[in-house]
Amino acid sequence: MPDITLRPSQIYFLHDSIDCRFRDGTPLLKTFEELLYGEKSVSNIQIIAVFHWKGQWWIYAGHRRLFLYKRLEELGILAEITVRKVWKVNWEAVNKKMTTQNGGTSVEIRNDHNFDVKLRDVINKWRSSSKEDSTARRPSPHAAPVHHGINRLEWNRNRLEDAIQNPAPSNDEAVVENRKSTCPCTIL
C-alpha cells in the first residue's frame, strides 16, 4: 500500500459518530491538546488508511485521528498528512462501517455530551496563550511549511550549521541518515 499526501479536509468519514476516547483509553481531547501545543507530533501517531471511491477519498481506518487532523487543519496548524492508500478494499467491511448520514463531512462524538464545549475551551485557551506568549505565534496560512515544529528556512539553516560542525559521514552512513529524516506530514 503506497503512501500519499492529502489535506485532512479531502478525506470523508464513513462513520456518523466516533467515541471520545481511543481504543487504548486515551481521551481525544488529551491527544488534541498534545498536538496543538507541539508536545506530540503527527509523525508519532499511526498513519491512517484511505481509499478512493466515486471521485473522493474516504477513511478506511483512523476515524478518530482524522477528526483531530481536521480540527488542526481548521486552526491552520496542519496542512497535509501522509496517508496509506488501500488498493484492495473489503467492501463488506466498508458497507458495515458506512453509517454516515451527511455524506461523510462530519462525525458526532459519543460518550461525552460536553465534548464540543471542552474542545472549544481548549482552542480558546491555546489562542489566548499564543497571544500572550511573544514567542508563540499563530502561523499564517501563507507561511512556509514547517517540519517537526520549525519553519523550512530554520530547518535548512540548522542542517547547514550541523554539517559545518560535524564532518560528512561516509556515503553508506549518509544514505541511512537521509532515510531517517523524512517527514510524514506538512505542518504549518
Question: pTM for the full model?
Answer: 0.70
Can you give the residue range of the structural domain that contains 12? 1-188
Number of domains in the chain: 1
Phi, psi of 76 (to 5 degrees): 80, 15
Residue with cell 488542526: 72
H-run or E-run covering 184? none
Look up residue 153 and give its amino acid: L
Residue 174 CA to its chain's centroid (Å): 28
pLDDT in tens, the chain (188 residues): 579 999 999 999 999 999 999 999 999 999 999 999 999 999 989 999 999 999 999 999 999 999 999 999 999 999 999 999 998 999 998 999 999 999 999 999 999 999 999 999 999 999 998 776 644 444 444 333 443 344 444 444 444 455 445 544 443 333 333 333 333 333 34
